[in-house]
Chain A
Amino acid sequence: MNLFKFSSPQTFYSLAGKLAPAFGVIAAVLAAIGLYISFFVAPTDAVQGEVYRIIFIHVPAAWMSMVIYLAMAFWSAIGLGLGTRVSFYMSKALAPTGALFCFLALWTGALWGRPTWGTYWAWDARMTSQLLLLFLYFGHIALTNAIEDARRADKAGAIIALVGAVNIPVIYFSVKWWNTLHQGSSINLTKISVVNTMLIGMLIMALAAWAYSIAVALVRVRSIILERERRTEWAGVEIAAQGGRA
């Protein structure tokens, strides 16, 4: 039954199985160091007090949500260009984590905004773009889930990811333009006097978020690969071996 003789999903499957725990450990260690710095090393901010400590998750989450969307677009472009199925699987595996970070950026932004500027939500350029990015994630996930034919779902998701990625700068720029024009809520996000320890803490938390995202995406892609490659010989063997234990 050696019909679908594509080796790359198989190689990627075992590679992902080896790498995922490693990235998971890196994420845990980095998060522990990052959290220690954010709560015990970084000093209290003179203006905002303790509440600024939210930025140690807010900023990495916002970065991550953007990076993951770009990574999805990257994998989609590779998938459409080279026809490699693993790229589509990666793109699909990244989407839920990207949406998660996008939501976290909004949530922590709101909780930070309330004590700092007296409002949970402002139609500020960054928050509004973040909200639109969340809609892009929702659209991508909804589209790929609505299409039953797996190959069509892969490619349609890839197209919408690419279209979205092209639009992200346009959206950000237009929202910023709209915001400065209306002057409705001018919020200065850089009111904190950033000291080195804060920056280091933020960077370490961001690296932890990177490692976490990679680990989670790799674990998720393993399920996707098994599901989609189940007709191949090697996946059959793997399912038979693992299925008994599940």
Chain B
Amino acid sequence: MQWQDPGTGLNSIAKAAPTARQKCNPDVVIFLTTKRLPDTPWRVVECTPMLEIHDLACLRGDRLLFRRLGLSVQAGELWRIAGANGVGKTSLLRLLCGLATPDEGEVRWQRKTIQQERESFHAALLYLGHASALNDLLTPLENLHFACAAAGDAVDTAACSAALTRIGLGQQLDLPTKVLSQGQRRRVGLARMLLATQRLLWILDEPFTALDVAAAAELAQVIAQHAKAGGMVIFTSHQDADFGMPVRTLDVGKFGGAFSA
């Protein structure tokens, strides 16, 4: 288990700072925040996690889904959110994105809460939810192009159709999305990932659902590539996939509510 004790998360970082000063080279490590101390000639590098979750609690109606949930994610890490149905995996992902407000605790992106840093956080975030975010009357190409443009990515139609062709939807570019199968719809999301590699944090809700073996392998490869390039991926999944790299696991069930009034 990699999750930190939420109460002491920041303290342990502060304590770790002296060692970091000796070991890290500020010019090499990209994803670390650097700070100049007032009385010292050198810069102190604090090995800060990019995304920190502190003491998070989530209520759904009358049920307490989880509480005191803590997690810190650093660049290059791959996290799988595990837990049985209904423990609040999707709720957790929505909290991480800032779509929902936590009942307690907070989510921090580069040391600031995601509410304070909304714009820069959302610029660095790709979230693919349970719903496909596709409109049935538009073609996959139109859907993908709109998704990129609405998110604020400058991606032209050619790049969109190239991405769709690469993941095997080259024949369906100009068909309405309603004729696509579930797996094909999911592939549009895969294409969106290919076009969002510059976004550091990917949060994916059940990305493997409805994908066939080949597409699932391709997805695993895309995810692993993103993490190896310094990105972060947090996902939920019921299937096992081979990423060719270590996957850390957070079991939401362990933070389950002790009561449900």
Task: Please list the residues of chain A having a beta carbon within 8 angstroms of any beta carbon in chain B.
Answer: 1, 3-4, 148-149, 230-231
If the complex has contacts A3-B67, A3-B104, are A230 and B261 also in contact, measured as CB distance less than 8 A?
yes
Query: Which residues of the other chain, B, contact A149 by a CB distance below 8 angstroms?
Result: 61
Asked if residues A3 and B61 are in contact (CB atoms below 8 Å), the reply is no
Asked if residues A231 and B258 are in contact (CB atoms below 8 Å), the reply is no
Asked if residues A231 and B61 are in contact (CB atoms below 8 Å), the reply is no
A-B pairs with beta carbons under 8 Å apart, 7 shown: A3-B57, A3-B64, A3-B67, A4-B103, A4-B104, A231-B59, A231-B261
Q: Closest CB-CB distance, A148 to chain B, in whole Å? A: 7
In whole angstroms, what is the CA distance A3 to B55 when docked? Answer: 11
Asked if residues A1 and B259 are in contact (CB atoms below 8 Å), the reply is yes
Q: Closest CB-CB distance, B228 to chain A, in whole Å? A: 39
In whole angstroms, what is the CA distance A231 to B57 when docked? Answer: 13
Query: Which residues of the other chain, B, contact A231 by a CB distance below 8 angstroms?
Result: 59, 64, 259, 261
Interface of A is mostly: loop
Can you name the residue of chain B whose Cβ is closest to the Cβ of A239? B261
In whole angstroms, what is the CA distance A148 to B258 when docked? Answer: 23
Query: Which residues of the other chain, B, contact A230 by a CB distance below 8 angstroms?
Result: 261
Query: Which residues of the other chain, A, contact B258 by a CB distance below 8 angstroms?
Result: 1
In whole angstroms, what is the CA distance A1 to B257 when docked? Answer: 11
In whole angstroms, what is the CA distance A231 to B62 when docked? Answer: 9
Query: Which residues of the other chain, B, contact A148 by a CB distance below 8 angstroms?
Result: 61
In whole angstroms, what is the CA distance A1 to B258 when docked? Answer: 9
Contact with A along B101-120 (1 / 0, CB 8 A): 00110000000000000000
Query: Which residues of the other chain, B, contact A1 by a CB distance below 8 angstroms?
Result: 258-259
Q: Closest CB-CB distance, B221 to chain A, in whole Å? A: 39
- Residues of B31-86 at the interface with A, using a CB-CB cut-off of 8 Å, are 57, 59, 61, 64, 67
In whole angstroms, what is the CA distance A190 to B103 when docked? Answer: 54
Q: Closest CB-CB distance, A147 to chain B, in whole Å? A: 12
Interface residues on B, range: 10 to 19
In whole angstroms, what is the CA distance A3 to B259 when docked? Answer: 11
Q: Closest CB-CB distance, B163 to chain A, in whole Å? A: 36
In whole angstroms, what is the CA distance A3 to B67 when docked? Answer: 9
In whole angstroms, what is the CA distance A4 to B104 when docked? Answer: 8
Can you name the residue of chain A whose Cβ is closest to the Cβ of B60? A149
Q: Closest CB-CB distance, B44 to chain A, in whole Å? A: 35
Query: Which residues of the other chain, A, contact B57 by a CB distance below 8 angstroms?
Result: 3
Beyond A1-B258, A1-B259, A3-B64, 12 extra complex contacts between A and B, CB < 8 Å: A3-B57, A3-B67, A3-B104, A4-B103, A4-B104, A148-B61, A149-B61, A230-B261, A231-B59, A231-B64, A231-B259, A231-B261
Closest 10 CB pairs of A and B: A231-B261, A230-B261, A3-B67, A3-B57, A149-B61, A1-B259, A3-B104, A231-B259, A4-B104, A148-B61
In whole angstroms, what is the CA distance A4 to B64 when docked? Answer: 11
Q: Closest CB-CB distance, B23 to chain A, in whole Å? A: 39
Q: Closest CB-CB distance, B7 to chain A, in whole Å? A: 14
Query: Which residues of the other chain, A, contact B104 by a CB distance below 8 angstroms?
Result: 3-4
Can you name the residue of chain A whose Cβ is closest to the Cβ of B101? A151
Can you name the residue of chain A whose Cβ is closest to the Cβ of B100? A151
Query: Which residues of the other chain, B, contact A4 by a CB distance below 8 angstroms?
Result: 103-104
In whole angstroms, what is the CA distance A40 to B198 when docked? Answer: 82
Interface centre among A1, A3, A149, A230 (most CB of B within 10 A): A3
In whole angstroms, what is the CA distance A15 to B68 when docked? Answer: 31
Q: Closest CB-CB distance, A83 to chain B, in whole Å? A: 9
Query: Which residues of the other chain, A, contact B103 by a CB distance below 8 angstroms?
Result: 4
Contact with A along B221-261 (1 / 0, CB 8 A): 00000000000000000000000000000000000001101
Can you name the residue of chain A whose Cβ is closest to the Cβ of B59? A231
In whole angstroms, what is the CA distance A1 to B57 when docked? Answer: 13
Can you name the residue of chain A whose Cβ is closest to the Cβ of B260? A231
Query: Which residues of the other chain, A, contact B259 by a CB distance below 8 angstroms?
Result: 1, 231
In whole angstroms, what is the CA distance A4 to B67 when docked? Answer: 11
Contact with A along B131-172 (1 / 0, CB 8 A): 000000000000000000000000000000000000000000
In whole angstroms, what is the CA distance A3 to B68 when docked? Answer: 9
In whole angstroms, what is the CA distance A149 to B63 when docked? Answer: 12
Q: Closest CB-CB distance, B38 to chain A, in whole Å? A: 36
Query: Which residues of the other chain, B, contact A3 by a CB distance below 8 angstroms?
Result: 57, 64, 67, 104
